[in-house]
Amino acid sequence: MNSENTRRKFLRLLAASPVLAVPGVFRGSLESFLSTGEFTGGEIREFLENPLERAASDDAPIASAEQAINVMDFEPAARKAIPVAHFGYLATGVDDDATVRINHEGYSKIQIRPRRLVDVSKLNTSVRIFGASWETPIVLAPVSALKAFHPEGEIAVARAAKVKGHLQMLSTVGTSSIEEVTAARGTPVWQQLYPTNDWSVGRAIVKRAEAAGSPVIVLTLDLQDDSNRETLRRAMRADTRPCKMCHAEGMSGYLRRKPMFDGLDVSRVTGLHAKDMNWDVVKRLRDTTTMKVVLKGIVTREDAQLAIEHGVDGIIVSNHGGRSEETLRPTIESLPEVLEGVAGKIPVLVDGGIRRGVDIFKALATGATAVCIGRPYAWGLGAFGQPGVEAVLAILRRELEAIMRQAGTPAIDRITRTFLAGGSSK
């Protein structure tokens, strides 16, 4: 009996150890498996040899959006509903997926200092960004290929954003056009930009977004085309569907399936970014459009200062959800130095790892103008379509309002650094 208990303790320790380095898409399944304590050596071996099958067979995912208690409840439901390779694409980070996990874990290091005897009978969760008012500071970040998770893709997300009053950003490589998404949202959305290595293509996308009424172009800086996405590769290996039916070979074949590239000559495009991109591209972009220019992917003081020097209108602190490089630095820890770099001159948003309303509160208290979410609403979409996205947004707003009341902050502009341990107090 003692040796059996020791064996179980060792396996649980191993599950939490980088020695095993289980990809993020499988980690929850393994932890659940080991926590039961009821397994044989053969079962352990079967799990380690077939983690995808085991992950897919985990029981008790929610059966409807209404059953969700928190946004994490949507992940296993999405994993069950989405084809395995598609879920691998959504879940993947790079290398060991550590930065994906650390993005969220970074929030657990921040403590809140609640104030008492504050009238919180009425809450104001609205924010203003570039002169436009939004009901909440929760922004839907650009996520590519949303029809890989649900047939209605970006359109379902836009309808949910309309119902719940949220700002939405559209990916350059989305599976719906900006015209379709704007019509579904009812108001113009922000257009994210991968400029590609052929500026004539990038410029055409910018002009199309401008013509569609988009007020903001979001230039993504935090991803090159050669990120090492091992979890995705493992998921693709386990997916037995004939992928070539949907995925044409080569960059040109890939882009021809993306509506924002319709009618464009993509024969010279070899990547979504030019590998020789520098600050000149920002000047070129500013000279091309009257839209506001926001840079997504700034994580240092130095680059924030350069952004100001180049006339940028806003910044999103982002490491691409841990999908670009294994920095092991959460975006919430990058946020303070970026804020120092901009010195209050432009709005700064942050994404990466936000899973709770209290995470949103901490980001706002640190100084963010708003926060962006990606995976959580994609989980909701994949699991239940538009109702799932609406439920994710409702849960996060409910949790944010709860901590606002508990902390004594009746409005977003009352959430300041004084509410964080280590922040200046009065």
Active-site residue, 320 included:
yes
- 176, 255 Cβ separation under 8 angstroms: no
Q: Say whether 196 sits in a helix, a strand or coil.
A: coil
- 367, 417 Cβ separation under 8 angstroms: yes
Catalytic residue among 86, 104, 273, 320: 320
CA distance linking residue 319 with residue 379, whole number of Å: 20
CB within 8 Å of 384: residues ≥ 6 apart: 64, 65, 74, 77, 391
- 283, 207 Cβ separation under 8 angstroms: no
DSSP character at residue 418: G
Residue 343: count of CB within 10 angstroms of its CB: 10
Write out the H or E segment, with its range, that includes residue 84: helix 84-91
CA distance linking residue 192 with residue 167, whole number of Å: 13
Residue 426 tokens, joined: 């009065």
CB within 8 Å of 48: residues ≥ 6 apart: none
Q: Say whether 411 sits in a helix, a strand or coil.
A: strand
Nearest CA among 168, 48, 106, 145 for reference residue 327: 106
Q: Say whether 267 sits in a helix, a strand or coil.
A: coil
CA distance linking residue 365 with residue 191, whole number of Å: 27
The residue count of the chain comes to: 426
- 268, 198 Cβ separation under 8 angstroms: yes
**How far separated are the first and last CA of the chain, in Å rounded?**
58
Q: Between vectors from CA 416 to CA 358 and to CA 309, what angle results, nearest 5°?
A: 110
Side by side, the strands of the sheet bearing 169-170 are 138-140, 370-373, 348-351, 314-317, 292-296, 216-220, 190-193, 169-170
DSSP character at residue 124: B
CA distance linking residue 169 with residue 190, whole number of Å: 5
CA distance linking residue 183 with residue 206, whole number of Å: 18
* Residues known to be catalytic: 320
